[in-house]
Structure 1
Amino acid sequence: MDDTAQDPAAASAAKLAEGARPAWELYAAAHRGVTMADLISDLLHLADRLPDEQDKGADEILARAQRDYDAERP
């Protein structure tokens, strides 16, 4: 049995990662040769242009994403 199967936090993180896989695969298929950093960077550019009722800009979204990631990682 691997560590992911033994650690509920790791299993949860693995499940979250798999939930994001379709977005990554779609982006990568549309933009050959890109990296995950390219996708994240482009999402931050999009965040700066979201309507006011959305989260407020890339800096706040990036900070929130980092907090969420830290809380969810094993």
Structure 2
Amino acid sequence: MIIKLVATATYAAFTLSVLKNCPHAVHVFDHFHVVKLINDKLDEIPRLQYAMEKGINKRGILKGDPLPVAEKW
């Protein structure tokens, strides 16, 4: 029997096993894990923007504060 397609989760152990045991098969990842990885990376963007921003007024805006800190006082 020739295995043409293998679908697994995104774990490294599964990938290595497919490469070792079915080197000619097409390896695809299941939809759930692909979407989860994409969402995790998209969630990092606001955190990175906040960490990169030095000005306290802009940090407040990034957190959703409608008025910058300096204008409140």
Normalised TM-score (structure 1): 0.29
Which structure is richer in relative contact order (CA contacts within 8 A, separation 6 or more)? Answer: 1
Higher helix share goes to which structure? 1
Normalised TM-score (structure 2): 0.30
Higher strand share goes to which structure? 2
Larger-Rg structure: 2
